[in-house]
Amino acid sequence: MLRTLLVDDHDVVLRGLAAVIAGRPDWQVIGQAHNSRDAIRIAQDHCPDVAIIDLRLDDMDGIELTRHCLALCPTLRVLIFTMHKSEATIRDALAAGARGILLKSELGRSLDAALDAMEAGEPYLPGRRGEIVLNSHLGRSSDPNRLTPREREVMMQIVSGISGKEIASALSISPKTVEIHRTSLMRKLKLRNAVELVRYAVRNGFLEP
């Protein structure tokens, strides 16, 4: 059962989203919020599986709210609900950890597809522009900071909870080499600790929630 949080400051939108989700097998709305304060409380108390968050709320930007909710529930799948499809909006949402963006102008024909993507743990973005931004965000370009194959191997071992000595044994390298790869990948990804690394791996499809 995918436990879902809905966040929008308009009752009619909340009712519409709730009605659609009620008709989907294995989905359940566990909370509805008109503002970020209530949304954070629900996330803290119930840690939902999916959250659909309006980009424009009266008390907090939906992207900032995404960061707060993911800090409480690292495996949360966030779908940002917005009127804007600019590259800047898409990039900001992905950087905050959102899994997808649903355009209000395409609600009638795209909501089911977006929910299917959330259920499968896949990203959902609008059109070709979204695909280009996603590929760039995931490092599928000529980014010089892209992780090496060995760094990816070390990352996957770390997020699986394996110790440095166990990683060294599994990969047939020294513990010192493991630490060198760990330091390098954390620097490239601009992360500070293993918790942030796990969040990064989940958000970017390296680790299934």
Give the pLDDT confidence of 98-154 residue by residue, as tens digits: 888 888 888 777 898 889 989 988 788 865 554 555 555 555 443 445 677 788 888
Which H helix or E strand runs over 33? strand 27-33
Distances (CA, A) of 62 to 43, 90, 96: 14, 12, 10
Query: For 149-203, CATH number?
Result: 1.10.10.10
pLDDT per residue as tens digits for the range 177-203: 888 888 888 888 888 888 888 888 877
Residue 10 has pLDDT above 80, yes or no: yes
Per the model's pLDDT, the better-predicted residue between 4 and 190 turns out to be: 4
Task: Look at residue 20 and tell me whether its pLDDT is greater than 70.
Answer: yes
Which pTM value belongs to this model?
Answer: 0.64
Q: Where are the alpha helices (DSSP H) in the chain?
A: 11-22, 36-46, 62-72, 87-96, 107-120, 127-137, 149-159, 164-171, 175-189, 194-203
Model pLDDT, residue 133: 53
Residue 134 confidence (pLDDT): 56
pLDDT over 70 (residue 206): no
Give the N- to C-terminal CA distance of the chain in Å, as an integer.
Answer: 14
Position 18 pLDDT exceeds 50: yes
The average confidence (pLDDT) of the chain is 84
DSSP 129-168: HHHHHHHHHTT-S--TTPPPHHHHHHHHHHHTT--HHHHH
Note the pLDDT of residue 196.
86
Q: Give the pLDDT confidence score for residue 149 in this predicted structure.
A: 76
Given CATH 3.40.50.2300, say whether it is the number of domain 2-137: yes
Q: Structural domain boundaries of the chain?
A: 2-137, 149-203
